[in-house]
């Protein structure tokens, strides 16, 4: 049937549009075959590895500060394991980096609009055209990189936060960015009202 063939063609042609719609916030349903994935996060630096003929050398770098192109990844990876054993959540403030230890905390600044955001590195990548970081879907939204797909950013390692993440990870704790901020900068408690009696001594 010619109409059925035309229908299949149109459906295939709309695949990219459907994916864009999902990227803009449509909730992704994890397939049943992937729901049995067990999350076993670990602290990890890792050994050198090869992707498409190029070697990468993970290391502990507390002074990382580079400018380059950022991209983002979302629905196709949502619910799958990251390089350090966590389950990727496109709605969390995380990112992928080729060499920084897992986990690390970095400040990413979109150099086009000066929007900044602290992210937790828990995955490896990106491996396309020398891009330096792959943002989660939510991070790309906040930094206004979603529509363009990529953008020029500065990535600076947050030293104190990264050291704390390492200590916690070695204890089996992997806090998200919001929890980490509270640990590094705990709220200042207001002093309770204390009634002071003034003695009048003559």
What is the secondary structure of 74-122 as a DSSP string?
A: -TTTTTSB-TTSPBP-TTSSEEE-SSB-BSEEEEEEETTTTEEEEEEEE
The answer to whether 3 and 11 are in contact (CB under 8 A) is: no
pLDDT > 70: what percent of the chain?
74
pLDDT at 191: 62
The answer to whether 112 and 39 are in contact (CB under 8 A) is: no
Range 25-39 average pLDDT? 52
pTM of the model: 0.74
Q: Is 48's pLDDT higher than 60?
A: yes
User: In whole angstroms, how far apart are CA 129 and each of 52, 67, 118, 153, 161?
Assistant: 12, 14, 24, 15, 29
Using 50, 70 and 90 to split pLDDT, how confident is the model at 36?
low
Q: Is 67's pLDDT higher than 70?
A: yes
Phi/psi of residue 27, each to 5°?
A: -65, 130
pLDDT tens digit string along 74-100? Answer: 999 999 999 999 999 999 999 999 999
Residues in contact with 54: Cβ distance below 8 Å, sequence separation at least 6, in sequence order: 127
Q: Which residue has the higher pLDDT, 1 or 123?
A: 123
């Amino acid at each position: 049937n010619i109409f059925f063939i035309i229908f299949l063609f149109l459906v295939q042609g709309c695949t990219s549009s459907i994916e864009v719609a999902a990227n803009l916030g449509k909730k992704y349903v994890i397939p049943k075959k992937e729901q049995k994935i067990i999350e076993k996060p670990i602290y990890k630096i890792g050994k050198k590895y090869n992707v498409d003929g190029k070697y990468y050398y993970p290391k502990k770098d507390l002074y990382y500060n580079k400018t380059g192109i950022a991209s983002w990844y979302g629905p196709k990876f949502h619910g799958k394991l990251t390089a350090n054993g966590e389950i990727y959540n496109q709605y969390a403030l995380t990112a992928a980096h080729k060499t920084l230890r897992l986990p690390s905390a970095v400040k990413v600044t979109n150099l086009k609009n000066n929007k900044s955001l602290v992210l937790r590195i828990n995955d490896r990548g990106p491996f396309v055209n020398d891009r330096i970081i792959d943002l989660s879907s939510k991070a790309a939204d906040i930094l206004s990189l979603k529509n363009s797909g990529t953008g020029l950013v500065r990535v600076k390692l947050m030293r104190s936060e990264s050291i704390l993440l390492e200590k916690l990870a070695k204890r089996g704790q992997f806090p998200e960015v919001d929890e980490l901020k509270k640990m590094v900068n705990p709220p200042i408690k207001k002093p309770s009202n204390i009634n002071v009696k003034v003695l009048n001594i003559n």
